[in-house]
Amino acid sequence: MDRIRVLVVEDSLSVRKRLIEVLASDAAFEVIGEAENGQQAIEMCRALRPNVVTLDMHLPILDGVSATEHIMGHFPTPILIVSSSTNRGDLFKTYDALAAGAVDVLEKPTGEEPDGVWEKKFLSAVRLVSKIRVITHVRARLGGPGATRVESAPLTLATLPEHGRSVIALGASTGGPGALVEVLRRVPRGLPATVLIVLHIDEPFSSAFAEWLGNQTGHAVCYAVGGEALAPSGKGRVLMAPPGRHLVARAGRLALSSEAERHSCRPSVDVLFESLAAECARQTVACLLTGMGRDGASGLLALRRAGAYTIAQDEASSVIYGMPREAALLGAADSILALAEIGPAVARAAVKTGSPV
Buried b (16+ CB within 10 A) or exposed e, 70-105: bbbbbeebbbbbbbebeeeebbbbbbbbbbbbbbbb
Of 284, 275, 338, 337, nearest in space to 307 by CA: 284
Give 222's contacts (C-beta < 8 A, 6+ positions apart).
Answer: 210, 214, 237, 238, 239, 240
The distance from CA 340 to its chain's CA centroid, rounded to whole angstroms, is: 15
Q: Which residues are known catalytic residues?
A: 173, 200, 295
For residue 107, what is the DSSP state?
A: E
Helix (H, G, I), strand (E, B) or coil at 123: helix
The distance from CA 161 to its chain's CA centroid, rounded to whole angstroms, is: 29
Q: For residue 223, what are the CA distances in angstroms to 169, 198, 204, 206, 319?
A: 14, 10, 15, 11, 25
For residue 137, what is the DSSP state?
A: -
Max intra-chain CA distance, the chain: 61
Q: What are phi and psi of 276, to 5 degrees?
A: -70, -35
**Axis-axis angle for helices 209-217, 176-185 (nearest 10):** 40
